[in-house]
Amino acid sequence: MPKAQVNGIELAYETFGAGEPVILIMGIGGQMVFWDEAFCLALASRGFAVTRFDNRDVGHSTRLEHLGVQALNDVIKQRLLGGNVRAGYSLYDMADDTAGLIQALGHTSAHVVGMSLGGMVAQCLAIKHPERVRSLTLIMTTPGELWANVPTYRAFSALTGKPGRTREAVIARQVDVFKKIGGSRHGSPASLVEKMAGLQFDRGTYPKGFMRQFAAILSASGRLSRLRRVRIPTLVVHGSEDPLVRPIGGRLLAAAIPGATLCMVEGMGHDLGPSIWPFLIDRFAENARRKAADLPHAPSLKPMLASTISVPG
């Protein structure tokens, strides 16, 4: 598997298809394989060169062992008490990684798709390196304001629970996590979760990387004021039943970014199951065709009032 030397580290990546470049950024602790190959191929079939990659500290990319980790409870306590969370790196460092990958692949810019933590990194990329982003797709993510990002206890405890040690335990835990963070519709079938979790285990799990990425999230300040200056065609997709990143996160993002389109999907949780892929790919392709020159100069409150969309499946 190829690796790119970027920002002082190595990022492992894989590209499908040819055409306009698309970069997929995965969520916390997730390896590139959680962008399922079938999804990547379906997106590539629309005329895109689709690249998925391992973020720093996961999979085959550089592991930053020398940075150490803090206990999860200590990190959470620091954030809730209003103190500064100590993190080995920031979301903007991860955005620098992505900007470097775009350049290493030989592109000046790319369409950027980020999910959950990946959506936070994508926002930072659009803020810090707008020239690298042709269009922005933000899935089940948040602008980072603490007051608007309170998950349910069930979902949060599932995500931050003790990781399994054996292949079977890792797979069983992932199936349980997806059950608890999913919604009533558009969830990934257990067989798909088992496949992705197995691939992730075989490529090498790394719980310390999850912890450092978690600290990066909690150390970040809210991005709403900076997002109001983003002039990039933006699509926001969020589930009406997301228990981990609540729907208000998607509504705030779409209201803050001028000209953003909000798709609030009925029954969808914090899971991008196959039944939502055709809808997402169609909306992505529409957004990729938009021009920055056609965007309004100011944010709009209309996305806050947007109705929920029912998607077949």
Whole-structure pTM value: 0.97
Instruction: Tell me which architecture the domain covering 3-149+206-309 has in CATH.
Output: 3-Layer(aba) Sandwich (3.40)
* Structural tokens at position 50: 């689709």
Q: Which pairing describes strands 48-53 and 9-16: parallel, antiparallel, or unpaired? A: antiparallel
Q: Where are the domains of the chain?
A: 3-149+206-309
Per-residue pLDDT of the chain (313 residues; tens, 9 = 90+): 899 999 999 999 999 999 999 999 999 999 999 999 999 999 999 999 999 999 999 999 999 999 999 887 888 888 777 777 889 999 999 999 999 999 999 999 999 999 999 999 999 999 999 999 999 999 999 999 988 888 999 999 999 998 889 999 999 999 999 999 999 999 999 999 999 999 999 999 999 999 999 999 999 999 999 999 999 999 999 999 999 999 999 999 999 999 999 999 999 999 999 999 999 999 999 999 999 989 998 998 888 888 899 998 8
